Structure 1
Amino acid sequence: MNRARFAFAESKILYKSLPLYPLENGEDAWINEGKTRNGMTNFLTEAGVQAGDLVTLSDVDEIINGRAIELLKSCEGIPESLHLQTKNYLYSYEFPLGDEGMWRTSIHKWVPGQSRYAHHQTSTTILMDAGWHCSFCFRTIEEFQFKMQAYSHSDRVRYSYLMEPEWIQHAICTGKDLFGMFPEAYSFRDLFSRIGAIPKSESAVGLPRYVLENRVRFKFMLPGGCQREGPLLS
């Protein structure tokens, strides 16, 4: 299905499978995280990235605004590393986190043998209002359950009720933390601002145009559409 949707760019899409392995005693999910990012570095080299090429480094839930890309394409003197601020949302665009946004998305001027696929701070320069980062923004309850048990989140499922569809649906519609934990924050200001349920937003201003133009298909991403697909326990 997705292959047909992106047929217009098929000649530009490269695919590579990155085999990982079961974790051994004492290892955590970040071992495979590192292997994945190293694999992406090698893949970029195999794909023919040349010195001076501008390479966007981001996770799949970090969407860069098309206007930001056009701006960068028309500019001269772009820094060797430039972070792109993406606004943070949880569950949908109904719950903006109200913080300073995600800074991990970046654009690098590629230096062969030196540049690497990174998702950490590599510069003090940032382009503001450059996109959106929507975490746990899934269509179905099953997708929430899968992510909650997978990768680096599995150790947060401390109680069985956290996996129950009723609790997950309740958290999605109220802005509460799925895992019943304190918010992830790296300053006291962010910690105190995020404690408790996230305030709802009813505004669609500044949201991705494609989502708004296809609002029926992406109802679950928009304010007022918190009800997710999937069976709920009676």
Structure 2
Amino acid sequence: MISAFTKRFSFFAASTVFLLLFLVSREHLLPRQRINRKYDAGWTPELPAAAGAAEALCREHNFKPYRAGATTHRKVYDLFLISLELDWLEIRLHTLAPYVDYFVIVESNMTFTGLAKPLYLRENWSRFRDFHHKIIHRVVQDPGPRVGNSIWAHEDFFRNALLHNTFPSLMFSEMEAKEGDVLIVGDVDEVPKPETIAVLRSCEIPDRMTLRSHFYYYSFQWQRVGEQWAHPQATVFHGLAKTLSPVDLRHGIGGQRSRIPLYSAFIRWWHKIDLWDAAWHCSSCFATVAEVQSEMESFSHPDLKTLDDKRADTSLERFRTKNNLFGRPGQRYEKIKQNRDVPQYILDNSQRFSYSRCRTPKLRRWQIYNEKIVDSRLSRWLFEPLTRSGFRQNAWSRGAPLSVVRCTLDMLLCACMKAMASNA
């Protein structure tokens, strides 16, 4: 005979297991949400100078104030990779420099897909001279096939280099990170809003914080319809060994391990908060078609890049129709007239960054470099046989020779087009 106590205990145990399974299965769908205030580009946030102001700021966002020592300054580090996005680097530096202590920037002479590229930041270092004292810049060499043949393995390597290849060298200097400091991890075009930095510095935050961003495409004129973009992320520094790696933080994995089934996943869910309206993300917001095509070459989704996607006329048609750059179905974009929800630096330099504010249907605001728009028939004749013969889009899988041949042909074609343009 089963006692009433046994029945109640069995029911309680089964209910607990079901609840845990439910929470874990919806780990990425049920974050503990904290709503940030709507952004107004006319408002310049100030870091709270008094304890009372910090407490009020944190209470507004349902956080507790951060209790640092009397002589402790809680530093904020902004970590991101850089490729060719120099305009976005300029916008990010000017937007966040008053609120961030250090910018940690990693670049390489190879793309995630194994193609050679210039060191854009190193070659344009003087352009950012006003921020040299705040920039921690590292050039990291790609280890090649040693980390694997997957494009994602190389992207993960570079993302983790933001922490593992940088912070050990800062020890015993004024730049050294201390327990409790804040790390922001994202792409260069995923820009936190200044008031978000004030919240991160002043409040007790969890180890997994998603700074939800409005997702714009091509310019701040077109906003993606749907849920806000789930990047960038922020975390708390707990020493080199215990701090969440950038990859684990971005993808919601890793962290505390346990022998108890489901416990690690439950802890990840419990220590995760989303802060909404906390950042901007403007994807493919470049001045030129050439820059967009260069970005596509290094994109880590080889399944989304067809030969037709890489043609300049295809890109221009998708810009004109406000279609996704890779022709992905189901993504809609809403036109926003006179959008003020943009970084203040863009508003202050509206002529220089006009391409990021508005793009007309006739594409008058696209700066199209003749030398970069090569006859698509020639491009197809050169490269389509290679793709049909079984060559993969990843240079790590197909080997270096094809990459070298393609880069050489690109340079020759560009030189010819430049010569033709100068003689015209």
Higher mean C-alpha deviation, range 58-67 or range 75-84: 75-84
Instruction: Show CA shifts across 1:91-126 (max 9, x none).
Output: 111211022212231221111111122322365312
Superposed, 1:2-21 pairs within 5 Å as 2-21=124-143
Q: Per the alignment, do residues 108 and 202 of structure 1 end up closer, same or farther by CA in structure 2, a change over 3 Å counting?
A: same
Instruction: Show CA shifts across 1:142-184 (max 9, x none).
Output: 11111222241444232x43322222122123211222233xx
Residue 183 (structure 2) aligns with: 55
Q: What is the one-letter code of the residue matched to 2:229?
A: M
Instruction: Show CA shifts across 1:166-205 (max 9, x none).
Output: 22122123211222233xxxxxxxx5xx2xx523222312
Residue 165 (structure 1) aligns with: 312
Instruction: Show CA shifts across 1:3-34 (max 9, x none).
Output: 3443232112111111114458x822111012
1:212 and 2:347 are equivalent in the alignment: yes
TM-score (norm 1): 0.82
**Preserved contact between residue 175 and residue 200 of structure 1 (Cα < 8 Å):** no
Q: What is the one-letter code of the residue matched to 1:139?
A: A
Instruction: Show CA shifts across 1:21-73 (max 9, x none).
Output: 4458x822111012112222211333322211111111111011112112333
Higher mean C-alpha deviation, range 170-179 or range 61-70: 170-179
**Preserved contact between residue 147 and residue 153 of structure 1 (Cα < 8 Å):** no
Superposed, 1:164-183 pairs within 5 Å as 164-182=311-329
**Preserved contact between residue 355 and residue 366 of structure 2 (Cα < 8 Å):** yes
CA distance in 2, matches of 1:152, 1:106: 19
Superposed, 1:16-35 pairs within 5 Å as 16-23=138-145, 27-35=149-157
Structure 2 gap ranges (5+): 1-122, 171-175, 253-267, 376-424
1:114 and 2:242 are equivalent in the alignment: yes
Q: What is the one-letter code of the residue matched to 1:82?
A: M
Structure 1 gap ranges (5+): 183-190
**Preserved contact between residue 51 and residue 111 of structure 1 (Cα < 8 Å):** yes
How many Å apart are 1:219 and its aligned residue? 1.1
1:202 and 2:337 are equivalent in the alignment: yes
CA distance in 1, matches of 2:353, 2:124: 16
Higher mean C-alpha deviation, range 206-215 or range 36-45: 36-45
Residue 64 (structure 1) aligns with: 192
CA distance in 1, matches of 2:280, 2:169: 29
**Percent same amino acid among aligned pairs?**
24
Q: Per the alignment, do residues 233 and 10 of structure 1 end up closer, same or farther by CA in structure 2, a change over 3 Å counting?
A: closer
CA distance in 2, matches of 1:34, 1:90: 24
CA RMSD, Structure 1 to Structure 2 (Å): 2.4
Q: What is the one-letter code of the residue matched to 2:336?
A: S
**Preserved contact between residue 23 and residue 29 of structure 1 (Cα < 8 Å):** no
Q: What is the one-letter code of the residue matched to 2:345?
A: Y
Q: What is the one-letter code of the residue matched to 2:235?
A: H
**Preserved contact between residue 88 and residue 96 of structure 1 (Cα < 8 Å):** yes
Q: What is the one-letter code of the residue matched to 1:124?
A: K
TM-score (norm 2): 0.47
Bigger radius of gyration among the two: 2
Superposed, 1:39-188 pairs within 5 Å as 39-42=161-164, 43-47=166-170, 48-73=176-201, 75-112=202-239, 113-115=241-243, 116-117=245-246, 118-121=249-252, 123-158=271-306, 160-182=307-329
Where 1:119 maps in the other structure, the secondary structure is: helix
